[in-house]
Structure 1
Amino acid sequence: MNAQPLNDPDAPGGCPVAHGEGFTRLYGPGVASDPHGVYAQLRKEYGAVAPVLLDGDVPAWLVLGYRENRRVLDNPLQFARDSRIWRDWNEGRVDATSPLIQVLGWRPDAVSQDGEPHRRLRAAVTDNLQAMTGRGIRRHVAHYANKLIDAFADEGRADLAADFAEYLSMLVLCRVFGLAEKESRNLAESCKLVLNGGAEALEHNERVMTILGDLAARKREEPASDFTTGLIDHHAGLDQDEIVSHLRLVLITAHNMTSNLLARVLQLVLTDESRLSGLVSGQLSVSAVVEEVMWNFPPLVVLPGRFATADLELGGCQIKEGDLLVLGLAAGNADPEIRPDAGVSVQGNQSHLAFSAGPHECPGQNTGNSIIEGAVDVLLHRLPGLRLAVPPEELASTASTWESRLDSLPVEFPV
């Protein structure tokens, strides 16, 4: 990251001296146990933009400020999504087998492109997501939520993270994609490991791509009323690689974000008696709880990634053409410049960064919310007297570079 040295009196923001030198690792034990502490320390040391190292000690700029995040997300002409301009990749400092490629590498999908190519591909996704949500998705949610609850309803206890939130979204997605229910557990595990990175990311990505490639080929021969057939038939005219890449994109993103978000919503409800009673009585809506979680526990804490299209300044740092930037969504939501009192209610305020922003803002918000609202409704109806089985302070999370997930959510209930 060709930045100015620390001892340069004109150096803005305390940017580091050389490519990778002095950067903070955005992976490893410290981040896994306390990502928000890491973000706070980086903000204190560098300000709104901080130099970091990703898996494999690949350098990047972590955007911590809310306004700086919005500037990056809202300006694709300055900050492109196309990783083919990534300087570290082009100069051979990132290996083709790096787990970062699974989240940052270029693919023939809407996330990897800007401008008209992005609009064409995004239209196919958004149109079919709307159709998917409109085809009674809550009916599928109710069916699978009840099925998962049936497996532990007689036990009087369960882990709602592992036994419920982790698989519900994948069961629903398999149904609307046209995949067999038996694929759901393996796909849920593979999707999680692709996003987590690590040595297994490539293997699990290939597993996902193989399953989805077979699905697309089958739906060309046997079309049905499902998301996959909708992509195939869309007037945008997606080719086979584009279809499979978008199936992968939606499956991995929708599952990881929705399962994570559902667990966090249940955590918030079960650790606050007033919220639980408000939902049961109808005085509080699930959507209001989701909104609060989006501010305080966004399912993606860091969003990959953008690439500077020219030399420019951001948050007091000199960014060079081809530099990688990763978006600190959780840090931006907690930015004291726009949220000086984190204890103030955010109800009715939807300006959080959890769904990203700008042209690439998440198109699946309504689908995810439908799954979560339906799941919470079924759970509270089926399990009256549901309560947390451990003190709230015993609940723990583990973070990767990109997300922070609740380890478990043990509950008990009368049988």
Structure 2
Amino acid sequence: MRAEHGPIIPAELAPGVRGWLVTDYATLISWSRDTTTFSHDARLWRDFNEGRVDPDSPLLPMMAPRANALFVDGVEHQRLRRAITDALGAVTAGHLAAITTRYADRLIDEFCERGQADLLNEYARMIPLLVMNDLFGMDEDQGVRFVTAMRNLWAGVDAERSNAEAERALSEVVDAKHRDPGDDLTSRLIRHRAGLSDEEVIMQLLLIIAAANEPTAALIDSALRAVLADPALRTAGGASVAVLDDLMGRVLWRDPPITNYPVIYPRVDVPLEDGRVIEAGSPILLGFAAANHFFQRENAERMEDSANRAHVAWGAGPHRCPARDEATAIATIATRRILERLPEPTLAIPPEGLRWQLATLFWAPVTLPVRFVPRPPATPASAPGPVPPAFDTAPDTRAPASSGLSSLSNFLVRLLRRS
């Protein structure tokens, strides 16, 4: 496409939905920072405003106007983003590491004796859900319903119904926290000095969890695929802080968790160097993966030193992902626990046998089957212990420690495979 159109590519985003794709690194950063010419406010989307976008378009839940920090600019963006960053900032690195490790170990306990597992659906897609359930104070039913709806939104499956179900689950969480507030992100957003309405709280929750679940799962999956492809990493020695930090940097360059998102809209017509014009109100996808790829190719000689952390996997400008550190930490810990607990995992099929789910906004494998030397669970099934607090605040210690998570894990795996 670049050979035919250059780095700014006209594209059909969905049937009848026209827009543009930016694949140039410098242009993507420049336009993301230029809040005078470009906006994230979808109310500028001309075709949407003029009724030319099908109401059933799978892009609408990810592109239609919303009252959250991703879709507004200026003072309003600063107000909403501050509430998000303050709520996230109250989560210490130690607490995040502890709950991520706990859930990672519980999930590994579910399959470590089998000697084989689908590390995408049984692990990578489970950890962000469990961690977010814990941090947001969701109960089991709310968490299951929400993550299923969000996966369908990212994939463009039954978009209108999925969007409604996601918002319904979050509305229930907000109502519950009004009655019984706690030390969780939902309660912090409700009582933040920014004075968010309940609708605004729901919209910020939708943004944070949407950004945390599938993208973090994709980052874990990408890191695990990189490990499986490199014999030097497929041992416990590959779990060192320095090795994993370098691995995550390379993965965020080469295989970012979000391919083409979010969207910006020019406030005025934007002329391109070749004479073409991007009309005001046209959606422009930010092609993070392509921008990283072409920057790497054009700057190969200096990629190993000065450019290691200059990727755009988390965006650029004032809308750069506020939870990037948390997502990277979760993915790093999840990858480390696999290396520490499963002896030298290997891909169960040839790499070319992996199947991929392709959509306008992202791409991801369907499964990640691996084999490894069977190991006993870290915690014997008969030993008492607390069920993860997101699902049972008063666990019955007479039951096996993993029973609550086991039933949830199996149920979610079935849901994820069906979706």
Q: Decide: shared fold, TM above 0.5.
A: yes
State the partner residue of 2:91. 132
Report the CA distance between 1:276 and its aligned residue.
Answer: 3.1
Please point out which of 242, 246, 258 is paired with 2:216.
258
Q: Which whole-Å deviations, capped at 9, do the CAs of 1:268-309 have from their partners, x for residues lacking one?
A: 011111233484363843221111111111111101311110
- 1:326 is paired with a residue whose SS is strand
Counterpart residue type for residue 53 of structure 1 = E
Report the CA distance between 1:45 and its aligned residue.
Answer: 0.4
Please point out which of 180, 185, 198 is paired with 1:240.
198
Counterpart residue type for residue 206 of structure 1 = A
Please point out which of 118, 137, 144 is paired with 1:159.
118
Please point out which of 185, 192, 196 is paired with 1:227.
185
Please point out which of 82, 103, 111 is paired with 1:144.
103
Please tell me whether the aligned partners of residues 235 and 343 of structure 2 are also in contact (alpha carbons under 8 angstroms): no
- The aligned runs of 1:324-403 (5 Å cut-off) are 324-335=283-294, 339-340=297-298, 345-346=303-304, 349-403=308-362
- TM-score under structure 1 length normalisation: 0.85
Report the CA distance between 1:181 and its aligned residue.
Answer: 3.4
State the partner residue of 1:86. 45
- 1:273 is paired with a residue whose SS is coil
Please tell me whether the aligned partners of residues 265 and 293 of structure 1 are also in contact (alpha carbons under 8 angstroms): yes
Instruction: Work out whether 1:63 is the aligned partner of 2:16.
Output: no
Q: 1:390 to 1:341 in 2, by over 3 A?
A: farther
Q: Aligned-residue CA RMSD in angstroms?
A: 1.9
Bigger mean CA deviation after superposition, 214-223 or 283-292: 283-292
Instruction: Work out whether 1:208 is the aligned partner of 2:166.
Output: yes
State the partner residue of 2:415. none
Instruction: Work out whether 1:268 is the aligned partner of 2:268.
Output: no
Distance in 2 between residues matched to 1:160 and 1:284, nearest whole Å? 23
Counterpart residue type for residue 255 of structure 1 = N
Please tell me whether the aligned partners of residues 278 and 284 of structure 1 are also in contact (alpha carbons under 8 angstroms): no
Please tell me whether the aligned partners of residues 292 and 346 of structure 1 are also in contact (alpha carbons under 8 angstroms): no
Please tell me whether the aligned partners of residues 167 and 185 of structure 1 are also in contact (alpha carbons under 8 angstroms): no
Please tell me whether the aligned partners of residues 47 and 315 of structure 1 are also in contact (alpha carbons under 8 angstroms): no
- TM-score under structure 2 length normalisation: 0.84
Report the CA distance between 1:96 and its aligned residue.
Answer: 3.4
Q: Which whole-Å deviations, capped at 9, do the CAs of 1:235-278 have from their partners, x for residues lacking one?
A: 11111110000111111111011001100100001111123348
5+ unaligned residues in a row in structure 1: which ranges? 1-41
- The aligned runs of 1:286-305 (5 Å cut-off) are 286-305=244-263
Bigger mean CA deviation after superposition, 364-373 or 343-352: 343-352
5+ unaligned residues in a row in structure 2: which ranges? 375-419
Please tell me whether the aligned partners of residues 169 and 258 of structure 1 are also in contact (alpha carbons under 8 angstroms): yes
- 1:51 is paired with a residue whose SS is strand
State the partner residue of 2:156. 197
Q: How many residues align?
A: 372
**Identity rate of aligned residues, in percent?**
33
Report the CA distance between 1:137 and its aligned residue.
Answer: 1.1
- 2:2 is paired with a residue whose SS is helix
Counterpart residue type for residue 86 of structure 2 = D
Distance in 2 between residues matched to 1:281 and 1:226, nearest whole Å? 30
